[in-house]
Amino acid sequence: MNKAIATTIGIVCISIAIGSDHNNLEKDRPLRFDDAYSTAYRSFEFQAGFGVDTFDRSKPVYNLQFEIQYGFAKNRDISIGLDPYFTSESGKLVGNAIDLSYFEGVSREIGNNPAFGYRIDAGIPISGGDGAEFRVRGILTKTLVHYDKIHLNIDYLQTTSGSSGDRKSRMGAIIGYSNPIGYPTRFDRTLLAEFGIEQGMTTGSGYNSWIGIGLRNQISSTMVFDFGVQADTSRTSGEPSSPLRISVGYSMNF
């Protein structure tokens, strides 16, 4: 009897942990990839983050991120966000863009078939920019063993601004990995890793690439803290390289 009660309690705790954290990985929290699952139906999620980008040719750039998501339908969510930044040179906080996003989970993982979803993002400049940016992202998520998963993101990016020598459209891809640390006794921490590539900004240039590693720590049934480190592994000529990017963040469901 005692064993049955303990098992039931464990299953409930695991369900809460998985539902509010491990089955809903979001871009920039703390790495750049998404998984193929939406915010829960009729649930809000608030996300806040702070990042530091170091560059080999200029001073660091400090980024802030604020976003709120809403699961307006089953397997679908929308979000609105703001990502201001500032540099040590200017000392001024600049509202870079308003970010709008729509996500739809097309299919869930069944047997050997991966989960599939897509996300459409739009960045509308409010200062410091003269054009909008759009991204369409296809997302596949597949369980490997138990609860560790691999995530494939394919991106198409389009911008409405830029000089004559810049690409207006670009392609990119990210391979992400997530694994709950401490399985099967605990599910409150998730290890993340990624490798990404993306076409350079200049027409005729090659690909930029980066690697990243991160950790998500569930501090309650509705709150998650995240930490990530990323580094550029290659950069096309003329574009600044970031040897280290550090990000920390916080997410809350309500």
Residue 6 predicted with pLDDT over 60: no
What is the predicted pLDDT for the residue at 149?
95
Q: How far apart are CA 56 and CA 240, in angstroms?
A: 7
The lowest-confidence range among 97-101, 102-106, 117-121 is 97-101
Residue 150 predicted with pLDDT over 90: yes
For the chain, the structural domain boundaries read 2-253
Longest dimension (CA), the chain: 73
Contact 132, 110 (CB under 8 A): no
Average pLDDT on 145-171 reads 89
Q: How far apart are CA 72 and CA 188, in angstroms?
A: 27
What is the predicted pLDDT for the residue at 202?
87
What is the predicted pLDDT for the residue at 225?
96
| Cα 210 to Cα 73, 80, 170, 228, 236, distances in angstroms | 34, 26, 16, 13, 12
Residue 205 predicted with pLDDT over 80: yes
Contact 47, 230 (CB under 8 A): no
Average pLDDT on 85-97 reads 70
CATH number for the domain formed by residue range(s) 2-253: 2.40.160.40
Q: Is the pTM of this model over 0.95?
A: no
Residue 30 predicted with pLDDT over 90: yes
What is the predicted pLDDT for the residue at 216?
95
Average pLDDT on 129-151 reads 91
Residue 3 predicted with pLDDT over 70: no
Average pLDDT on 150-168 reads 89
Residue 5 predicted with pLDDT over 60: no
